[in-house]
Amino acid sequence: MGAKPKPGGKLWSGRFAEPVSELVKRYTASVDFDRRLAPQDIRASLAHAHMLRAAGVLSRGDLRAIERGLSRISAEIEAGRFRWSLAAEDVHLNIERRLIDIAGNAGKRLHTARSRNDQVATDLRLWLRDAMDDIADLIRKVQRALLDQAEKHAATVMPGYTHLQVAQPVTFGHHLLAYFEMLERDRARLADCRGRVNRLPLGAVALAGTSFPIDRARVARELGFEGLSDNSLDAVSDRDFAIEFCACAALAMVHLSRLSEELILWTNPRFGFVTLPDRFCTGSSIMPQKKNPDVAELARGKVGRVTGDLVALLMLMKGQALAYNKDNQEDKEPLFDAADTWRDTLAVFAEMIAGIVVNEAAMRAAAQQGFATATDFADYLVKKGLAFRDAHEAAARAVRHAEESGRALEQLPLAELRRFSKKVDRDVYRVLTLEGSVASRSHAGGTAPSRVRAAIKRARTALRRT
């Protein structure tokens, strides 16, 4: 079986004349948070062992002992029976120490032609790849919820805003499709990032590769990597794949935060546009009437922590000379937090959006305020032959007159409208209606209900293809 490390000793402790300080053990240990990499560590170790056997570095008996040992460790971890040790510092050494306990010398041979440097880089990429696939599925789930609501409300008129002031009428379906597009770009960025994540670092070893006859391509195929990290120094030392993922997460969370802000506004009685399901809201400890949109508020707040995760990783890397440095132990907590927060937010939003109840009457009433069809009046005059700047001035004067008289534009008699331009005729009232306004935007990307329905159809087709 071979000699085993002394209890509490390091697998690399032969170089040192005194044990590591207990304070240093606590300060440098990462096992409390990197133990979540255990499934990936075991997968990568098995692939490495298979390759070493094929290369003639391991015997058949060693490989069988390693496979049995790793299978047992996996079962212990899954059942919660595995004894994690602070003395073993991280997930990798904890698993290796237990493997040596079980498999003896075969366990010691597993680390041939690899280092914790390329091991952790591989495990982290495997973990992140799995997380990205989960997140991509959740993005699609949120997108489908948006499409379902947009289809119900392809013709539901609401005010479109700029500067949070009434601008022009739009449909609620069109408004929701804007978030679909944001999420579609988030999904595309994630897919693009995944290609750079999915490169195998294993085989770089500590920094310079190895003299053993390894077959990195074989390991890549077994683990589902699309290619190899081409430079051993770069493979073990950079974390730009994690930084890029956090950048994707931060931007996606900004998009969800914008939707959160709108949900918070829309549920306010002053708007009253939507009602959220009770299960996504909370009450007040002293005000019995309150129904607070806490989920949306918390999501709006969580964008700060994910952006902080991104900044933390950027600062982590900025001063590191090649190759691996202990600093990189600090890469995991921000990465895990960003992935967990993004994933949890998407999961809750998918259900919350699906449960939204829309108050169409409140939306319509709001769209009738603020002279939302003033631009339609100006466009009408342009089509009658007036230059746009002159039409804009005429419409602005008509708005001021309507505002002073306490009426909407469409409530002004024809004679009064003609005061602002002789080109006004009775057909002007068709363009001053909310339905006429949105229906006239029938170009690609417009808010006309027909265009909204066509966009929904294209979006559903695109989702089915991915």
Report how far residue 455's alpha carbon sits from residue 459's, in angstroms, rounded to the nearest whole number. 6
Report how far residue 437's alpha carbon sits from residue 257's, in angstroms, rounded to the nearest whole number. 30
Report how far residue 294's alpha carbon sits from residue 298's, in angstroms, rounded to the nearest whole number. 6
Report how far residue 172's alpha carbon sits from residue 150's, in angstroms, rounded to the nearest whole number. 7
For residue 163, indicate whether it is catalytic: yes
Give the pair of three-digit tokens for residue 77: 């971890």
Active-site residue, selected from the candidate residues 21, 59, 71, 284: 284
Q: How many CA atoms lie within 13 A of 119 on its CB side?
A: 24
Give the pair of three-digit tokens for residue 296: 């949306």
**How many secondary structure helices (H) and strands (E) does the chain include?**
20, 6
Report how far residue 205's alpha carbon sits from residue 210's, in angstroms, rounded to the nearest whole number. 7
Give the pair of three-digit tokens for residue 42: 């075991």
For residue 392, indicate whether it is catalytic: no
Alpha helices by DSSP H, listed for 268-387, are 294-317, 332-354, 360-367, 374-383
Report how far residue 69's alpha carbon sits from residue 73's, in angstroms, rounded to the nearest whole number. 6
Over its C-alpha atoms, the chain yields an Rg (Å, rounded) of 31
Active site residues: 163, 284
